[in-house]
Amino acid sequence: MKDKITIHWFRRDLRLEDNAALYHALKDGKNVLPLFIFDKNILDDLEDKEDARVHFIHSCIEYL
């Protein structure tokens, strides 16, 4: 039987500490697959394709 995993979808809260959803994903001791999806609709609507917010989010995800 394959090991079960828990998927944790990082949306707006990219914190590793004091993150209730991440805590609940980890508390059962199962493997956790972290997931983040850039919303293409939001990205396409940005006037500045080098928007600092996107770079910040990307940096946070790399840290995770």
Encode pLDDT of 10-53 as tens digits.
Answer: 988 889 899 999 999 999 888 999 999 988 888 888 887 787 88
Domain boundaries, the chain: 5-63
Please report the pLDDT score of residue 47 as a whole number.
82
**pLDDT over threshold 70, residue 1:** no
CA angle 37, 4, 64 (to 5 degrees): 35
- Cα separation of 52 and 19, whole Å? 24
CA–CA distance, 56 with 20 (Å, rounded to integer): 22
Distance of alpha carbon 9 from alpha carbon 44, whole angstroms: 22
Predicted structure pTM score: 0.70
CATH superfamily of 5-63: HUPs (3.40.50.620)
